[in-house]
Structure 1
Amino acid sequence: MPLAPLPTATHDEIRRLVHGPCDSAFLSDLHQALTADVPADGRGRQLLHRLRLLGETLPHDLFDDPPRLATAHAWAAASDPSLCLAALVHHLLCLGSLTQLGDGSEDVMSRVKALRSGRAKGVYLITEAGGANSHLATRTLAELDPSTGEFVLHTPDARAAKFGSAGTLDVPQTAVVLARLVTEGADRGVFAFVADLTDDEGLLPGIEVSSPIALGALPLDYVQVHFHHVRLPHTHWLADGARIAPDGTFHDPAGSAERRLQRTLRVGQGLWATMPAVAAATSRQSAVQAVTYAQGRSTQGTLAPGVPLLTYRTQQRAVLGAMADAFALTCAAHGALALWEESRAAPADRHGTEMGFTPWTAVNQPLAAYKAAAVRLAARVSAECQRRCGFSGHLDVNRLAAYHGFHHAFDPAGGDSQLIFYDIGRALVEGGTTGQAAEPPPRTADTPPTSAHWWPAVVRRHQHDLTRHLGESAHATGTGTPFERWNPLLEDAGTLGEIYANALVAEDVTRTLAGTQDRDLARALRALAALHGVTAARRWSGSLLALETLGPADIQALSGAADELCDEILPHLPLLTEAFAHPDGIAPADCDIAPRTTLTWTRGGTA
C-alpha cells in the first residue's frame, strides 16, 4: 500500500520509523532493484544479477551507512527471504570479513570489487558438518609452507567438511573460510582465509563439493565442501593485525587463541545489528496480511454468522498482537543499529571480554541478544499470522511460510540463539553486569498494564529478580567444575538471557514513543506498545508468577487489558496498515486476494 495519501508530516515520520533515516530516493531505487525483471539465464546468474542490483543501491563502502544497509536487506527479506539470506552472507559476512579483517592488499581488493559488482558470489564457510558447536573446535587447517609463503588449506576428514550455500557451480564464487592456522607445527588459532571455489568453468582444482542438500525453510544451494591441499597466496590470509616474521616468529595482538576467535568472528556484529530490521520487515508484512485477511473474511459460525473475522476477540488478540510485536521489532531495529554504530566508532579492543560458553556474547553481548530475540519473535509472529490466515496462510505466493522458515532456521544460524541466551544469563550472574542499580527497580502497582510504561518496568524488575534467583542457585551448587555448576541451571540461565533481550526491546519502544511527534501516530503507537507488553507478559506468565514479579491477579487482568487495547487500536488500523505495508510489488498486502490474482483457468470442451 502506498504511503502517499497520508499528510506529509505523518508520512515523513512513518518513513523514519519504518525505514530509519533512508530518504525517498533511496527507497525508490531499492523498490526498482527488487522488482526489476531478471534474465532467465540460469539460477546462479539470476542470483548474481539480483545481488548486483541490490548492491547498486548501497554506498561504495557498505559499512558507511548502516541504516541503508539494514533497510536494503529488510526489503529483500520481505520480497524474497532466500535472496535476503544470500545477500546477508554476501555483504555482511564475506565482504565484511574481507574489508574488516584484511589488509587492503591488491589481491584481496580485486575480489572485493568482483563481489561488489556482482561478478562473483560471496560465501562464508564456518560450520563444519561433523560436530555440534564446530566454531569452537574448527578442524579445517591452513598450514604455512615456509618455502613459498603460501597456506595449504585442507579438510583432514569428513567430519571437518564445511557446510554452506556454495553449490552455485555455474558462477564464480569467493569464500571466506574459517580455518585453524598452523605454523612450525603449532596451532595459532582460527583465522579467516580467502578461497576461490569456482570460476565461469566450474569448480577449481582441490575443491570438492557434495550433491545438493535440500533445506525447505531456506531454499538455497547448500552443499558440503572439502578442501584438498588447496594452496592460497599469503595475501589470502585475513590476518587482522597478526603477522609471521621472516624467521617464522608468529605474533598476534589478540594475545590468545580464544581472543583470536572473538576477533575473527566480530564481523558477525553487522549481521546481528541488521537482523532486527529484517525481522521487523517480515513481521510488519505478516501482520498487515493477517489483519487485512481478518477484516475482509466473514465467518459462517453459528455464534455470529456473517460477522468479520476480526470481530472475534481471539482473532484481535492474535493479529493485533502480531502488529504490536512487529512495532516492537521496528523499535529494536533502531536500537540495534545505534548500538552497532556506537561500537564501530569506539577504539578497537584487541583483547575483548573473556569468553563464556560461546564466543558470541564475548564479541558483543547486547547485539547478540538483539539477533536472538528478533529472529525468535519474528518466527513466532509469522507462524501465528500464518495460522490465523487459514488455508491462504500456507500458500507460497503469500510468503508467510517463507518468512517463518527464514526466521525459524535463523534461530540456530548466525550464532545459536539458545546458546546466546544461556551465555548471557551466566554472564549476568558471574560478571555482575546486570546494568541495574543495587536496589531493585520499583514494583508497578500504580501503573496499569494498558500503559506503554508498564511492561518496561515489569521486565526490568523481572530481570533483577531472575538474576538474584539464579545467583543464589549458582552459589548453592558449590564450587565444582563450571559444567557441574551450570548444567542444572542452564534452563534458568536461558530464561534470564531472553528476559534481558526483552528488556532491551522494551527500552527501545519507550525511546521511540518519546520521540514520536505526530499526535494520531503517537496514539496508535502507544496502544501498540502497551499491547506488545501485555502480549509478552502473557507469554512469560509462568516465570513472572514463579518469582512473584507479578501476582495471580495481575496475570488474570491481562486478558481484559488486551481487549481494551485492541479497542484502542481498531480505529487506527487504516493508518497502521498503510504505514506498515511494503510498496506494491515487494510483498502482497492481502493474502486472501493474492491467489485469485495469480491463477489461470482452463475450461474443458463442450458438446
Structure 2
Amino acid sequence: MGTDPRPDPDLLRFVRGPSLSEEMRERVARAVPGEFFVHPDGLTPREQQALTYRRLRAAGLSAPPAAELLADPPALCALLERAAIADPALFHVMLLHYTLVLGPILRFGTDNDGDGGVGAERAGLESMSSFGALLMTELGRSNSHLSPRTIARHDPATGGFVLDSPDAQAAKFPTSTAHPRVPKTAAVYATLVQGGRERGVFVFVVALRGPDGAPAEGVEIVEAPDTTGLQVDYAAVRLRGLRVPHRAWLRDGARIGADGSFHDPVGGAAQRLTRSMGIAPAVWRAVISVSAAITRASAGILLAHSAGRVTLGRLAPLRPLTDYRNQRDAVLGSLASAYTLTAVAGRVKAAGTSSGGGAPAPGPDPGAGGPSTAWAPWSAVDRDLALLKAAATVEAQETVSLCRVHCGAPGFTATDRLNAYRGLAHAYLNAGGDNQLILFDTARAMAAGDRYEPPPVEAAPAGGGDLLSPGEWLRMARACEARMGARLADRVGAARAAGLDGFDAWNGNLVLAARTATACADRMVLETLAGVWEQAPEPLRALLRFYALGWMDRRAGQLLDEGVLAPGSLERVWALRGEVGDVLAPRAAELAEAFELPAEITAPTSFVPGM
C-alpha cells in the first residue's frame, strides 16, 4: 500500500468540514493537548477517574464558554471529537457536562432568573468547580424515560419541591456520581406532581455532591463495581425526600399560580415529556460526530499497523501484509467507513436536525405535538437524528472491532486504545437513546405513514445498473426501503384486523421492523454520499464506491429478497470491489493522512527495549 503521506488539500477540507475556523481548531487543540492522549500505568480506577476530571476541568477552562459551544454545533463537536480520540471516558463526562446538564439549564432555565434562578449552579459548572451528571434512566424498569417513577412533589408551604425515589427500582442508573471527592451538579428528570396530579416530566437542577464531594442530605449514592468498558465513576442514585427550592425547577414557561392552578404552555404531560427530552439533538450530533472520529482514528491505527509489515506465510514468504486481500480490504473498508461517517457528521452539524428527502420528518418544536412513539421518546424529538445516531454507532462499533481484530494481538494487548474506542462505540448502542427502540419507533412511523412518505421506486435498468454509480445505489436503497415498509405495514395491519392488540401485532414483527428502519437509515446515508459526490475529489469517489459495494455485500440478503439486486450479482459486486481496491491501495496513506491524527494515536508499539 502507498506510504507517501501527502494528503490532497480537498481531502483535508472534507474531513475538517467547512464550518470550523482555524482559530477554533487551534483553541480546541489547546483545550485537549497531546498529553491528554497518554495514560499513566498503574492507576487505580478512582485515580484514573480523578485524572479524567482534572483533564475535564482543564479543557473546560481553556475551551470557549459553554453557551458559545452549545450555540455552535461544529465547535462543540470538534471539542468532543478530540476528547474522544484522546480518552473515551473524557468524552463521556464532557458530553454529560455540556449537553445534558448545562444544555437544559441554558434552554429551560431562562424563566428561572426572576426568582433567583440557577445562576450559582450554572456558574459552578461553567467554572468547572462542579461537574455535570445526568439522572434520567431508572434502574428497575425498561423504557423508564417514558414515565419516570422519581417524583418531584410540589410543596405549597415553601414553594419548593421534594424529590423522592419510591423504591430501589426507581433509583437513577447509570450516573457518573461515584467518585467521593468530585463535586457534582445533577440534571434530574422527575415526574412533577402538583395539586395531586402528575404534570409531566421536568428537569430539576440539584447540587448532588458538595465542594468536598459529600452527598447532599437526601441523596443516597451506591457505587457500581469497577468496569473495563467505558471507564467512568458509575453509581446508582436514590433520592430520599430531597428538598430543593422552587428555583431548581427548570420550568420552561410552566408556572404554578398563587391559587394552586398549573399552567404549561406546551400542552399536556405527553407534550412536556417530548419537550423535556428536546436536549437530545445536541447529544446525537455529538455522538454521530464522535463515531466518525473514533472510526478515523481506528482506521489510522490499522493502516499504521499494516503498512510495511511482512508475513511469513508459506504461500509467499516476506510478502507485504497488505498484499493479502483480506487485510487490504479491512484497511480500505475502515477508511471508507471513516469517510462515510465523516460525511454524515458534516451533514448533521451543518443542517441541524433536518434531513429532508423521504426520511421520517421531525415534528415541530419538541413538545408542540410531534410524532407519536411507543417505545421511547426520542423519535418524537427528531426521528432523523435519532435514526442516524443509531446507524453511526453501529457502523463505528463494527469498524472499530474489525480494526482491532486485524491489528492482531498488538491491537488487543500492546495498546488499550482500540479496546477503549470499541467500548465507547458499544456503550452508545444503548446510551443516548437505545438503538433498538429507535429502530422500532421509526418503523412504527413508517408503517403508519406518520409524517413519512415512502421514497420513489424506479424500475431496475435492463441488464443491471451501474453498480459504481450513486444513482444506482439510491435506486436500490429506496426500493428496498419502500418494499420492506409496505410489507411491514401490511403485516401489522393484517394482525390488527385479525383482532390482535397493538403489542401482539408488533411483537411478531419486530425483526422486520428493525430491518425496515435500518433500510431507511441506509438510504439516508447513501443520499448523503450522493450529495457530496459532485464535489468529492479523487480518491474520495473511489472510496465511496468501495463503501457502497461493501454495503451491497452486507445487505445482500435484503436486496436479493426484495428483488432489488438480481440473482448472481454478488460475483459482480466482489469483482468490482477488487478493482476499486486496486485503485485505492496506493493512496491509502494519503487518505489516512487527511485525518490529521495526533502522533500518539498511530505511533508503533514501543514498550519493548531496543525498539
Structure 1 residues not aligned, in runs of 5+: 517-521, 602-607
Q: Report the residue type matching 1:481 in the other structure.
A: D
Q: Alpha carbons of 1:107 and 1:475: their partners in 2 closer, same or farther (altered >3 Å)?
A: closer
Moved more, 138-147 or 109-118: 109-118
Q: Deviations over 1:455-498 (max 9, x none)?
A: 23321221111112212222222333211221111111111111
Q: Alpha carbons of 1:364 and 1:530: their partners in 2 closer, same or farther (altered >3 Å)?
A: same
Give 1:323 shift: 1.0
Structure 2 residues not aligned, in runs of 5+: 356-361
| Structure-2 separation of matches of 1:24 and 1:168 | 37
Name the structure 2 match of 1:519: none
Q: Alpha carbons of 1:346 and 1:478: their partners in 2 closer, same or farther (altered >3 Å)?
A: closer
Q: Is the 8 A contact 1:538 1:555 kept in 2?
A: yes
Is 1:563 the counterpart of 2:587 in the alignment? no
Q: Structure 1 residue aligned with 2:531, among 487, 507, 511?
A: 511
Which secondary structure does the structure 1 equivalent of 2:425 belong to? helix
| Structure-2 separation of matches of 1:247 and 1:15 | 60
Pairwise mapping of residues 144-223 of structure 1 onto structure 2 (< 5 A)?
144-163=154-173, 164-201=175-212, 202-223=214-235
Which secondary structure does the structure 2 equivalent of 1:210 belong to? strand
Give 1:179 shift: 0.7
Q: Structure 1 residue aligned with 2:391, among 373, 378, 388?
A: 373
Give 1:346 shift: 7.7
Name the structure 2 match of 1:230: 242
Name the structure 2 match of 1:265: 277
Give 1:341 shift: 5.9
| Structure-2 separation of matches of 1:20 and 1:261 | 35
Name the structure 2 match of 1:279: 291
Which secondary structure does the structure 2 equivalent of 1:142 belong to? strand
Name the structure 1 match of 2:52: 47
Is 1:440 the counterpart of 2:457 in the alignment? yes
Pairwise mapping of residues 537-548 of structure 1 onto structure 2 (< 5 A)?
537-548=552-563
Name the structure 2 match of 1:123: 133
Q: Structure 2 residue aligned with 1:140, among 140, 150, 167?
A: 150
Name the structure 2 match of 1:323: 335
Moved more, 33-42 or 380-389: 33-42
| Structure-2 separation of matches of 1:12 and 1:26 | 20
Give 1:366 shift: 0.1
Give 1:558 shift: 1.7
CA RMSD of aligned residues (A): 2.5
Name the structure 1 match of 2:599: 584
| Structure-1 separation of matches of 2:387 and 2:327 | 30
Q: Report the residue type matching 2:306 in the other structure.
A: A
Is 1:472 the counterpart of 2:482 in the alignment? no
Q: Is the 8 A contact 1:206 1:228 kept in 2?
A: yes
| Structure-2 separation of matches of 1:393 and 1:458 | 36
Which secondary structure does the structure 2 equivalent of 1:113 belong to? helix
Q: Report the residue type matching 1:531 in the other structure.
A: F
Q: Structure 1 residue aligned with 2:318, among 290, 301, 306?
A: 306
Q: Is the 8 A contact 1:153 1:230 kept in 2?
A: yes
Give 1:177 shift: 0.6
| Structure-2 separation of matches of 1:254 and 1:168 | 38
Give 1:165 shift: 1.0
Give 1:23 shift: 2.4
Give 1:389 shift: 0.5
Name the structure 1 match of 2:251: 239
Q: Alpha carbons of 1:556 and 1:420: their partners in 2 closer, same or farther (altered >3 Å)?
A: same
Which secondary structure does the structure 2 equivalent of 1:107 belong to? coil
Name the structure 1 match of 2:358: none
Give 1:434 shift: 4.2
Moved more, 128-137 or 347-356: 347-356
Moved more, 359-368 or 428-437: 428-437
Q: Report the residue type matching 1:178 in the other structure.
A: Y
Identity score, percent: 34
| Structure-2 separation of matches of 1:169 and 1:396 | 32
| Structure-2 separation of matches of 1:529 and 1:296 | 25
Is 1:74 the counterpart of 2:84 in the alignment? no
Q: Alpha carbons of 1:283 and 1:533: their partners in 2 closer, same or farther (altered >3 Å)?
A: same
TM-score (norm 1): 0.91
Q: Alpha carbons of 1:599 and 1:24: their partners in 2 closer, same or farther (altered >3 Å)?
A: farther
Moved more, 240-249 or 143-152: 240-249
| Structure-1 separation of matches of 2:26 and 2:208 | 35
Q: Report the residue type matching 1:424 in the other structure.
A: T
Q: Report the residue type matching 1:27 in the other structure.
A: R
Q: Report the residue type matching 1:125 in the other structure.
A: L
Q: Which segments of structure 1 move beyond 4 Å, counting only runs of 4 or more?
A: 4-7, 36-45, 341-349
Q: Report the residue type matching 2:185 in the other structure.
A: T
Q: Report the residue type matching 1:57 in the other structure.
A: A
| Structure-2 separation of matches of 1:448 and 1:26 | 42
| Structure-2 separation of matches of 1:283 and 1:14 | 16
